[in-house]
Amino acid sequence: MSAPYLQLIDLQVRFGGLRAVDGLNLSLNFGELRCLLGPNGAGKSTTLDLICGKTRATGGKILLDGQDITHMKEYQRARAGVGRKFQTPTVFKELSVSENLEIARSQNPGVWAALKTFRTRRQGKIKEILDLVNLNDQFHTLAGNLSHGQTQWLEIAMLLVQDSKLILFDEPAAGMTIQETRRTAEIFNALKGSHTMIVVEHDMGFVREIAETVTVMDMGRLLSEGTIQEVESDPAVRRAYLGEEHEHA
Protein backbone atom coordinates (compact mmCIF):
# COMPACT_ATOMS: atom_id res chain seq x y z
CA MET A 1 0.00 0.00 0.00
CA SER A 2 1.24 3.51 -0.81
CA ALA A 3 1.87 6.03 2.00
CA PRO A 4 -1.07 8.30 2.86
CA TYR A 5 -1.21 11.63 1.00
CA LEU A 6 -2.40 13.53 4.06
CA GLN A 7 -1.74 12.56 7.63
CA LEU A 8 -2.84 14.33 10.78
CA ILE A 9 -0.93 12.97 13.76
CA ASP A 10 -2.15 13.77 17.27
CA LEU A 11 -3.20 17.21 16.01
CA GLN A 12 -4.17 19.74 18.65
CA VAL A 13 -5.21 23.32 19.01
CA ARG A 14 -6.28 25.20 22.09
CA PHE A 15 -8.16 28.46 22.18
CA GLY A 16 -7.52 29.58 25.76
CA GLY A 17 -8.84 26.73 27.86
CA LEU A 18 -10.82 25.15 25.01
CA ARG A 19 -9.31 22.15 23.20
CA ALA A 20 -11.04 22.70 19.85
CA VAL A 21 -9.01 19.91 18.22
CA ASP A 22 -7.77 17.44 20.76
CA GLY A 23 -5.40 14.75 19.51
CA LEU A 24 -6.89 14.11 16.08
CA ASN A 25 -5.44 11.35 13.89
CA LEU A 26 -6.56 11.16 10.27
CA SER A 27 -5.12 9.55 7.13
CA LEU A 28 -6.20 10.10 3.53
CA ASN A 29 -4.91 8.43 0.39
CA PHE A 30 -4.32 10.45 -2.77
CA GLY A 31 -7.54 10.85 -4.73
CA GLU A 32 -9.76 10.05 -1.78
CA LEU A 33 -12.82 12.07 -0.80
CA ARG A 34 -13.40 12.18 2.93
CA CYS A 35 -16.56 13.56 4.50
CA LEU A 36 -16.00 15.12 7.90
CA LEU A 37 -19.14 15.11 10.01
CA GLY A 38 -20.00 15.93 13.59
CA PRO A 39 -22.27 18.05 15.75
CA ASN A 40 -21.93 21.85 15.99
CA GLY A 41 -18.68 22.86 17.64
CA ALA A 42 -17.04 19.43 17.10
CA GLY A 43 -13.94 21.04 15.59
CA LYS A 44 -14.52 20.33 11.88
CA SER A 45 -13.92 23.84 10.50
CA THR A 46 -10.99 24.27 12.88
CA THR A 47 -9.46 21.08 11.47
CA LEU A 48 -9.67 22.57 7.96
CA ASP A 49 -8.15 25.82 9.32
CA LEU A 50 -5.25 23.82 10.77
CA ILE A 51 -4.59 21.99 7.50
CA CYS A 52 -4.60 25.13 5.34
CA GLY A 53 -2.60 27.16 7.87
CA LYS A 54 -5.25 29.73 8.77
CA THR A 55 -4.87 28.51 12.36
CA ARG A 56 -1.61 27.20 13.83
CA ALA A 57 -1.52 23.88 15.67
CA THR A 58 -0.43 23.92 19.28
CA GLY A 59 0.57 20.25 19.08
CA GLY A 60 0.91 17.33 16.69
CA LYS A 61 1.85 17.12 13.04
CA ILE A 62 0.44 17.55 9.54
CA LEU A 63 2.16 15.62 6.77
CA LEU A 64 1.31 16.29 3.11
CA ASP A 65 2.73 13.77 0.70
CA GLY A 66 5.32 12.92 3.36
CA GLN A 67 6.35 16.57 3.88
CA ASP A 68 5.87 18.14 7.31
CA ILE A 69 3.76 21.26 6.67
CA THR A 70 2.76 21.86 10.32
CA HIS A 71 4.76 25.07 10.62
CA MET A 72 4.44 26.34 7.05
CA LYS A 73 2.70 29.62 6.35
CA GLU A 74 -0.69 29.62 4.60
CA TYR A 75 0.71 30.73 1.22
CA GLN A 76 3.45 28.07 1.37
CA ARG A 77 0.82 25.39 1.93
CA ALA A 78 -1.20 26.80 -0.99
CA ARG A 79 1.91 26.42 -3.16
CA ALA A 80 2.36 22.89 -1.84
CA GLY A 81 -1.13 22.14 -3.23
CA VAL A 82 -3.54 22.87 -0.39
CA GLY A 83 -6.68 24.72 -1.54
CA ARG A 84 -9.44 25.93 0.71
CA LYS A 85 -12.94 26.71 -0.41
CA PHE A 86 -14.65 28.94 2.16
CA GLN A 87 -18.39 29.32 2.62
CA THR A 88 -18.32 32.98 1.61
CA PRO A 89 -17.40 33.41 -2.05
CA THR A 90 -14.09 35.09 -2.80
CA VAL A 91 -14.63 35.75 -6.53
CA PHE A 92 -14.31 39.21 -8.07
CA LYS A 93 -17.93 40.03 -8.91
CA GLU A 94 -17.10 42.85 -11.32
CA LEU A 95 -14.87 40.57 -13.42
CA SER A 96 -15.91 37.84 -15.86
CA VAL A 97 -15.55 34.11 -15.26
CA SER A 98 -12.50 33.97 -17.53
CA GLU A 99 -10.88 36.99 -15.83
CA ASN A 100 -11.38 35.39 -12.42
CA LEU A 101 -9.70 32.25 -13.71
CA GLU A 102 -6.86 34.30 -15.14
CA ILE A 103 -6.26 35.89 -11.72
CA ALA A 104 -6.34 32.50 -10.02
CA ARG A 105 -3.87 31.18 -12.59
CA SER A 106 -1.49 34.08 -12.05
CA GLN A 107 -1.36 33.18 -8.35
CA ASN A 108 0.43 29.98 -9.23
CA PRO A 109 2.58 30.88 -12.22
CA GLY A 110 4.91 27.93 -11.70
CA VAL A 111 2.36 25.38 -12.84
CA TRP A 112 1.50 27.32 -15.97
CA ALA A 113 5.01 28.32 -16.94
CA ALA A 114 5.41 24.85 -18.40
CA LEU A 115 2.45 25.55 -20.67
CA LYS A 116 3.57 29.08 -21.55
CA THR A 117 4.58 28.31 -25.08
CA PHE A 118 1.56 26.12 -25.59
CA ARG A 119 -1.30 28.61 -25.64
CA THR A 120 -3.71 26.09 -27.10
CA ARG A 121 -2.87 23.54 -24.42
CA ARG A 122 -3.48 26.19 -21.77
CA GLN A 123 -6.83 27.08 -23.29
CA GLY A 124 -7.61 23.38 -23.55
CA LYS A 125 -6.99 22.93 -19.84
CA ILE A 126 -9.22 25.90 -18.93
CA LYS A 127 -11.95 24.52 -21.19
CA GLU A 128 -11.63 21.12 -19.57
CA ILE A 129 -11.99 22.70 -16.10
CA LEU A 130 -14.98 24.83 -17.17
CA ASP A 131 -16.63 21.77 -18.71
CA LEU A 132 -16.19 19.92 -15.46
CA VAL A 133 -17.85 22.66 -13.40
CA ASN A 134 -20.56 23.30 -16.01
CA LEU A 135 -19.53 26.90 -16.76
CA ASN A 136 -18.39 26.74 -20.37
CA ASP A 137 -21.34 28.86 -21.52
CA GLN A 138 -20.47 31.49 -18.87
CA PHE A 139 -16.93 32.22 -20.04
CA HIS A 140 -17.66 35.95 -20.54
CA THR A 141 -20.36 36.31 -17.87
CA LEU A 142 -19.64 38.70 -15.01
CA ALA A 143 -19.14 36.68 -11.83
CA GLY A 144 -21.65 39.00 -10.10
CA ASN A 145 -24.35 37.74 -12.50
CA LEU A 146 -23.82 34.05 -11.71
CA SER A 147 -26.29 32.10 -9.57
CA HIS A 148 -25.21 31.01 -6.09
CA GLY A 149 -24.37 27.52 -7.33
CA GLN A 150 -22.44 28.80 -10.35
CA THR A 151 -20.41 31.12 -8.08
CA GLN A 152 -19.44 28.15 -5.93
CA TRP A 153 -18.44 26.19 -9.05
CA LEU A 154 -16.36 29.12 -10.28
CA GLU A 155 -14.48 29.00 -7.00
CA ILE A 156 -13.87 25.29 -7.46
CA ALA A 157 -12.59 26.03 -10.99
CA MET A 158 -10.25 28.67 -9.53
CA LEU A 159 -8.76 26.09 -7.16
CA LEU A 160 -8.35 23.63 -10.02
CA VAL A 161 -6.64 26.29 -12.13
CA GLN A 162 -4.27 26.89 -9.21
CA ASP A 163 -3.52 23.18 -9.31
CA SER A 164 -4.67 22.50 -5.75
CA LYS A 165 -4.23 18.79 -5.10
CA LEU A 166 -5.85 18.74 -1.68
CA ILE A 167 -9.11 20.70 -1.59
CA LEU A 168 -10.88 21.51 1.67
CA PHE A 169 -14.59 22.30 1.46
CA ASP A 170 -16.66 23.82 4.26
CA GLU A 171 -20.36 23.10 3.71
CA PRO A 172 -20.22 23.36 -0.09
CA ALA A 173 -23.91 22.55 -0.57
CA ALA A 174 -25.16 25.24 1.84
CA GLY A 175 -27.74 27.50 0.19
CA MET A 176 -27.86 25.47 -3.04
CA THR A 177 -31.02 24.36 -4.81
CA ILE A 178 -31.65 20.62 -5.16
CA GLN A 179 -30.43 20.74 -8.77
CA GLU A 180 -27.29 22.67 -7.83
CA THR A 181 -26.57 20.24 -5.00
CA ARG A 182 -26.93 17.31 -7.39
CA ARG A 183 -24.62 18.93 -9.94
CA THR A 184 -22.09 19.70 -7.19
CA ALA A 185 -22.13 16.04 -6.17
CA GLU A 186 -21.39 15.12 -9.81
CA ILE A 187 -18.45 17.55 -9.84
CA PHE A 188 -17.03 16.08 -6.64
CA ASN A 189 -17.45 12.55 -7.93
CA ALA A 190 -15.62 13.52 -11.13
CA LEU A 191 -12.71 14.97 -9.10
CA LYS A 192 -12.19 11.76 -7.13
CA GLY A 193 -9.01 9.98 -8.10
CA SER A 194 -7.22 13.11 -9.36
CA HIS A 195 -7.81 15.30 -6.30
CA THR A 196 -7.87 14.60 -2.59
CA MET A 197 -10.81 16.24 -0.85
CA ILE A 198 -12.11 16.81 2.66
CA VAL A 199 -15.73 17.87 2.76
CA VAL A 200 -17.33 19.24 5.94
CA GLU A 201 -21.07 18.98 5.43
CA HIS A 202 -24.30 18.74 7.40
CA ASP A 203 -26.56 17.94 4.40
CA MET A 204 -26.75 14.16 4.66
CA GLY A 205 -28.51 13.83 1.29
CA PHE A 206 -25.45 15.41 -0.32
CA VAL A 207 -23.08 13.33 1.81
CA ARG A 208 -24.80 10.16 0.62
CA GLU A 209 -24.20 11.19 -3.01
CA ILE A 210 -20.45 11.63 -2.57
CA ALA A 211 -19.28 9.70 0.48
CA GLU A 212 -16.63 7.02 0.52
CA THR A 213 -15.16 6.87 4.02
CA VAL A 214 -16.77 9.16 6.57
CA THR A 215 -15.04 10.53 9.68
CA VAL A 216 -17.16 11.75 12.58
CA MET A 217 -15.68 14.19 15.11
CA ASP A 218 -16.99 15.22 18.49
CA MET A 219 -15.40 17.57 21.01
CA GLY A 220 -12.23 17.87 18.95
CA ARG A 221 -11.70 14.13 18.72
CA LEU A 222 -12.31 11.35 16.25
CA LEU A 223 -15.54 9.66 17.28
CA SER A 224 -16.15 7.18 14.49
CA GLU A 225 -14.89 6.27 11.02
CA GLY A 226 -16.20 3.99 8.27
CA THR A 227 -18.92 3.84 5.65
CA ILE A 228 -22.05 5.94 6.18
CA GLN A 229 -23.92 2.81 7.26
CA GLU A 230 -21.21 1.93 9.78
CA VAL A 231 -21.06 5.36 11.41
CA GLU A 232 -24.83 5.77 11.40
CA SER A 233 -25.25 2.57 13.35
CA ASP A 234 -22.47 3.47 15.80
CA PRO A 235 -24.11 4.13 19.21
CA ALA A 236 -21.43 6.74 20.05
CA VAL A 237 -22.44 8.75 16.96
CA ARG A 238 -26.11 8.52 17.84
CA ARG A 239 -25.36 9.78 21.34
CA ALA A 240 -23.28 12.72 20.02
CA TYR A 241 -26.10 13.80 17.72
CA LEU A 242 -28.85 13.55 20.36
CA GLY A 243 -30.59 16.88 20.49
CA GLU A 244 -29.26 17.85 17.07
CA GLU A 245 -31.15 15.38 14.95
CA HIS A 246 -34.07 17.74 14.30
CA GLU A 247 -31.68 20.50 13.26
CA HIS A 248 -29.76 18.42 10.71
CA ALA A 249 -32.29 15.76 9.71
Ligand X SMILES: Nc1ncnc2c1ncn2[C@@H]1O[C@H](COP(=O)(O)OP(=O)(O)OP(=O)(O)O)[C@@H](O)[C@H]1O
Q: Which is nearer to ligand X, 40 or 229 (CB)?
A: 40
* Shortest separation between residue 198's beta carbon and ligand X, angstroms: 12
Least distance from ligand X to the Cβ atom of residue 213, Å: 18
Of 3, 10, 15, 68, the residue at the interface with ligand X (CB under 6 A) is 15
Q: Is 42 near ligand X (CB under 6 A)?
A: yes
Q: Which lies closer to ligand X via its Cβ, residue 43 or residue 53?
A: 43
What is the closest distance, in whole angstroms, from the C-beta atom of residue 100 to ligand X in the complex? 27
3-state secondary structure string, the chain? CCCCCEEEEEEEEEECCEEEEEEEEEEECCCCEEEEECCCCCCHHHHHHHHHCCCCCCEEEEEECCEECCCCCHHHHHHCCEEEECCCCCCCCCCEHHHHHHHHHHCCHHHHHCCCCCHHHHHHHHHHHHHHCCCHHHCCCEHHHCCHHHHHHHHHHHHHHCCCCEEEEECCCCCCCHHHHHHHHHHHHHHECCEEEEEECCCHHHHHHHCCEEEEEECCEEEEEECHHHHHCCHHHHHHHCCCHHHHC
Q: From the CB of 45, what's the least distance to ligand X, in Å?
A: 3
Nearest distance in Å: CB 50, ligand X: 9
Q: Which of residues 138-167 bind ligand X (CB under 6 A)?
A: none
**Which region, judged by CB under 6 A, interacts with ligand X, from 36-44, 99-107, 109-117, 174-182?**
36-44
Count interface residues toward ligand X (CB under 6 A): 11
Question: What is the spatial distance between Cα 159 and Cα 166, in angstroms, rounded to a whole number?
Answer: 10
Among 6, 11, 20, 50, binds ligand X (CB under 6 A): 20
User: Sign of the C-alpha dihedral, residues 25, 190, 169, 237?
Assistant: negative
Closest by CA to 171, choosing from 61, 241, 66, 88, is 88
- Residue from 46, 70, 181, 224 in contact with ligand X (CB under 6 A): 46
CB of 216 to ligand X, least distance (A): 11
| Residue pair 136/127 in contact by the 8 Å Cβ criterion | yes
Instruction: Select from 13-21, 68-76, 160-168, 229-237 the region that touches ligand X (CB under 6 A).
Output: 13-21
d(CA 45, CA 73) in angstroms, rounded, equals 18
Q: Is 88 in the site for ligand X (CB under 6 A)?
A: no
Q: Which of 12, 29, 31, 41 binds ligand X (CB under 6 A)?
A: 41
Q: Which of 45, 70, 164, 224: binder of ligand X (CB under 6 A)? A: 45
- Part of the chain binding ligand X (CB under 6 A), chosen from 37-45, 83-91, 223-231, 238-246: 37-45
Q: Which residues bind ligand X (CB under 6 A)?
A: 15, 18, 20, 38, 40-46
